[in-house]
C-alpha cells in the first residue's frame, strides 16, 4: 500500500491544524484541507511542493523497506526507540528563510534534538533498502560536499547526522523568501508554542498517489 516510510515529528493541536490548512493537506487523516484566505497570497501555488509530505519535520528521511523487513517490525522498533528517548524541550519555533524556502525552525539549544535525530537515523537503518543507482544519480544532480555524499551512501540522504537541521517546510522555492517571511510569520504567530516540546515521533507512509499520511504516533517516554 505504501511506497516508502519515514519517521517524522508531526505536531498536535493548534499548530497541527494551522499547518495542515496552510499546506492544504492533513497528514494525520490523510485528507485534503481547505486553504485559509490570505490576502495577496496564492497558498495553493506557494505550498505545492511541500504539500505531499504534510506538515512535519523529518527525523529519518523516506526510504523503501529493506528485503526481509516489514512495516510491523519497523513500527515495533520505533516504539522501542521512542520508549528510550525523553521529550526534547526548546525555547520555541520561528519562521526562517532556509536558502530559497521558508520553514519553522527551533529556538534554543538544539544539541539534544540533533542527538535524538541522529540516533533514530542509525538505530532504524536496518529497515532501509540501500539507495539504487537512479536515486543516487538524482541526489547527485546538485553538487554535494564530500560529507553530504558520504551520508548519501551510508544513510540514504545527504542531510543527516552532523548535517541535520530540524525544520518544518512551509513553502516551495521563492525568489525573495525574506520578503515574504513577515507575512508567513504573522499567520502562524498565535499557534507557535513557547516552549516548544517535541514529545513524540510519527511513522508515516508515502501512498501510491505520492501523498504522505501518518500510520502511528509514539510518545517519547524515556
For residue 188, the SS3 value is: helix
The rounded distance, in Å, linking the Cα atoms of 173 and 46 is 8
The whole-number pLDDT of residue 14 equals 94
The whole-number pLDDT of residue 39 equals 83
Domains in the chain (CATH in brackets) are: 2-219 (3.90.1140.10)
The whole-number pLDDT of residue 79 equals 98
Q: C-alpha cell of 175? A: 525568489
This prediction's pTM: 0.95
Q: Which residues of the chain register pLDDT less than 50?
A: none
DSSP assigned state of 55 = S
Q: Which residues contact 1 (CB under 8 A, 6 or more apart)?
A: 205, 207, 208
The whole-number pLDDT of residue 164 equals 98
In degrees and rounded to multiples of 5, residue 77 shows phi and psi of -65, -40
| Burial of 154: CB neighbours in 10 Å, binned 0-12, 13-18, 19+ | middle
Residue 123's H or E segment, with its range, is helix 111-123
The whole-number pLDDT of residue 43 equals 95
Cα-to-chain-centroid distance, residue 60: 8
The whole-number pLDDT of residue 38 equals 87
Amino acid at each position: 500500500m505504501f511506497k516508502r516510510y519515514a519517521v517524522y515529528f508531526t505536531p498536535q493541536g493548534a499548530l497541527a491544524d494551522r499547518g495542515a490548512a496552510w499546506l492544504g493537506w492533513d497528514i494525520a487523516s490523510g485528507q485534503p484541507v481547505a486553504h485559509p484566505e490570505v490576502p495577496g497570497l496564492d497558498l495553493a501555488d506557494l505550498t505545492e511542493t511541500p504539500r505531499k509530505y504534510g506538515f512535519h519535520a523529518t527525523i529519518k528521511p523516506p526510504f523503501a523497506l529493506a528485503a526481509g523487513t516489514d512495516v510491523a517490525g519497523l513500527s515495533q522498533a520505533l516504539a522501542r526507540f521512542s520508549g528510550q528517548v525523553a521529550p526534547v524541550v526548546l525555547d520555541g519555533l520561528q519562521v526562517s528563510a532556509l536558502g530559497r524556502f521558508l520553514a519553522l525552525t527551533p529556538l534554543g539549544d538544539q544539541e539534544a534534538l540533533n542527538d535524538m535525530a541522529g540516533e533514530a537515523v542509525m538505530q532504524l537503518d536496518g529497515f532501509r533498502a540501500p539507495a539504487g543507482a537512479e536515486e543516487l544519480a538524482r541526489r547527485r544532480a546538485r553538487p554535494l560536499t564530500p560529507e553530504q555524499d558520504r551520508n548519501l551512501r551510508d544513510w540514504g540522504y545527504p542531510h543527516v547526522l552532523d548535517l541535520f537541521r530540524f525544520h518544518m517546510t512551509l513553502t516551495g522555492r521563492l525568489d525573495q523568501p525574506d520578503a515574504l517571511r513577515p507575512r508567513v510569520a504573522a499567520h502562524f504567530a498565535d499557534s507557535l508554542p513557547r516552549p516548544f516540546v517535541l514529545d513524540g515521533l510519527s511513522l508515516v507512509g508515502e501512498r501510491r498517489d505520492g501523498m504522505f499520511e501518518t500510520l502511528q504516533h509514539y510518545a517519547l517516554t524515556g
